[in-house]
Amino acid sequence: MKNTINAVDVGRRRSLFLCGCLSTLGIAGALTATPASAAYEVVTVTNGGTIDGYITLSGEPPSGSMLKVTKNQDYCGTSIPDPTYTVGRGGGLGNVIVYLKNVTKGKAPPTGPAVLVDDHCMINPHVQGAMVGEQVKMSSNDPILHNTHALHAETNATIYNVALPFAGISLTKPLPETPGLIKIKCDAQEWMHAWIMELDHPYYATTGADGHFIIQDVPPGSYTLVAWHEATGEKSEPVVVAAGRTVEAKIALAATSMSARRGSVD
């Protein structure tokens, strides 16, 4: 039994994006939609394999890096730990998106939306994967004004810009109709940012604080496994998945300067 997920058909059912920002911010945004190049086919995966692995950091990350808080210090404080380099025991690197390249068919996509939560002047989760056709739910736990400004990372073109002016507010919007890296930032508090790697299939994961990840129900075959981190960039390795077996994978990413990372999110 199989069903085709076509991002073009999904897009035709969507309404135009609305800007939910306060006029005092002078914020506006629009999404230019482009049809996806191909459809992902959902099939029953029998005797699929598992990729169980770790992403590690080679080199020394900046020590004790803090984000400077420039406003709302009565609530946010004067500084917040920078989540860019989250390194666990053994050099495991957190906040890395790991995914397979060129997967055209396999397990069903996620059923729930991706989430972005403003919580004590940071955006959580810091990085995550998502699939074309998903929605993203944006919310705030903070009693101060935030805004969720989503941009195409490659071009800095605004996708949408939504105001979240008080605690408890939330709204849901569709993700773009084509895969790509999405940069999330808050214009009201400029140190706040996050990332969404949008893919045309559901074979992705985000590493935990120890660098561990797992990707399950993979159809047997040869693949390219990719690890992406906001500061170190991207690195890939070949991986062969056998039916009903678990393959171990490990990718080491090299530390880079914090100034290079900050330049990419301004």
Domain spans in the chain, listed from the N-terminal domain onward: 2-263
pTM for this entry: 0.82
CB 66 within 8 A of CB 82: yes
The whole-angstrom distance between residue 158's C-alpha and the CA centroid of its chain comes to: 16
**Whole-Å CA distances, 3 to 43, 108, 242:** 7, 9, 24
Tell me the pLDDT of the chain (266 aa) as tens digits.
Answer: 444 444 434 333 333 333 333 333 333 333 333 333 368 999 999 999 999 999 999 988 877 689 999 999 999 999 999 999 999 988 999 999 999 999 999 999 999 999 999 999 999 999 999 999 999 999 999 999 999 999 999 999 999 999 999 999 999 999 999 999 999 999 999 999 999 999 999 999 999 999 999 999 999 999 999 999 999 999 999 999 999 999 999 999 999 865 444 433 33
Task: Give the residue carrying structure tokens 């992705």.
Answer: 204
The span from the CA of 184 to the CA of 164, in Å, is 14
State the CB neighbour count (10 A cutoff) for residue 108.
15
Alpha helical stretches, state H, 22-102: 73-76
Strand order in the sheet with 180-185: 127-131, 193-199, 180-185, 146-152, 158-164
Superfamily of domain 2-263: Cupredoxins -  blue copper proteins (2.60.40.420)
The answer to whether 211 and 92 are in contact (CB under 8 A) is yes
